[in-house]
Chain A
Amino acid sequence: KAGVTQTPRYLIKTRGQQVTLSCSPISGHRSVSWYQQTPGQGLQFLFEYFSETQRNKGNFPGRFSGRQFSNSRSEMNVSTLELGDSALYLCASSLGAMDSPLHFGNGTRLTVT
């Protein structure tokens, strides 16, 4: 079974630009969660989608948004990029129950200059 695939692996953007990251979950998984990982803040929850509906959202500004498609693939978008948005963005898929283990992709490394 193929794992979680995130594209692209690396991105370099300039302040003020916007970026879209993509995540393809494991086949059969209907839940996709997004996390931001930075050395100082660890793994911070961004949002979670299940069957195209956002079920929960973390404490991030409205510049961070996401969506999920009918095939469970998900995208997250960050608008008006700031230097502090530089991080590893991780996507995880699961079956969607509260106690379902998360299966992570290898992340997208975003650098904002």
Chain B
Amino acid sequence: GENVEQHPSTLSVQEGDSAVIKCTYSDSASNYFPWYKQELGKGPQLIIDIRSNVGEKKDQRIAVTLNKTAKHFSLHITETQPEDSAVYFCAAIDTGGFKTIFGAGTRLFVKA
């Protein structure tokens, strides 16, 4: 089955700096890679996703890159703001069944 590893577990940046979170996956057939943001007291919310037919996708200050050969993908947040502080999860599809496997999460702190 799919296994997703995520690094770092904690990330602290100054407001305005960039933040990068990296993930690797094991199922080479996996073709969908979403990222979720979880704020305190809430469920995870999708912030961006990428499919295996593209190498990069951007949405304002957020971008995701995918390297299928190396089986890793990354989330890039530019010009970080205090409201970006949250836990971020990467995920990948287990092609053996209808389930999404999550990384362990990265707690991002943005210091004002």
Contact = CB atoms under 8 A, between A and B. Distances in A.
Contacts of A55: 97-98
A103 interface: yes
Given A33-B100, A42-B105, A55-B98, A99 B43 contact: no
A101 B93 CA distance: 10
Interface residues of B, number: 24
Given A98-B93, A99-B31, A45 B99 contact: yes
Contacts of B31: 98-99
Contacts of A31: 98
| Size range of the chain A interface in the assembly | 20 to 34
Interface of A: 4, 31, 33, 35, 42-43, 45, 48, 50, 55-56, 58, 90, 92, 96, 98-99, 101-107
Interface of B: 31-32, 34, 36, 41-46, 49, 51, 89, 93, 95, 97-105
